[in-house]
Amino acid sequence: MLGALETLYQYTTARPGHRTLIDALEPFARTLESTGSLTEALEAAIKGADDTKHMLPKRGRAVYVQQKENLADAGAVGLISVLKGIVSALQ
């Protein structure tokens, strides 16, 4: 999973802290790699997405679209929905 993340980084400048779906994807990948637990990886991704509520956007659509305070990044929230479905199907 980390290999896929590194490949993705060759095509995007988005990194953790930029208020994008990467803030959910990277914790998911790293936790899955270190623990092997889909549940723990999903929890890490949810926390990463939630943390975007307090970030200023540096990449993606949120840079030029007015954001409302205390709302998580839409891409990160969308990714959580996809990850929940995948985890549910695999358990």
Identity at 10, one-letter amino acid code: Q
- Count of alpha carbons within 13 angstroms of residue 37, beta-carbon side: 9
Burial letters 1-12, b for 16+ CB under 10 A, else e: eeeeeeeeeeee
Among residues 32, 26, 17, which one has the least CA distance to residue 62? 17
Q: Which residue has the tokens 């993340």?
A: 5
Decide if 68 contacts 13 (C-beta within 8 A).
no
d(Cα 81, Cα 86) in Å, to the nearest integer? 9
Q: What per-residue confidence (pLDDT) applies to 64?
A: 63
Q: In tens digits, what is the pLDDT along the chain, a chain of 91 residues?
A: 888 899 999 999 999 999 999 999 999 999 999 999 999 999 999 999 999 998 887 777 666 666 667 889 999 999 999 999 999 999 8
Q: Which pLDDT does position 83 carry in this prediction? A: 97
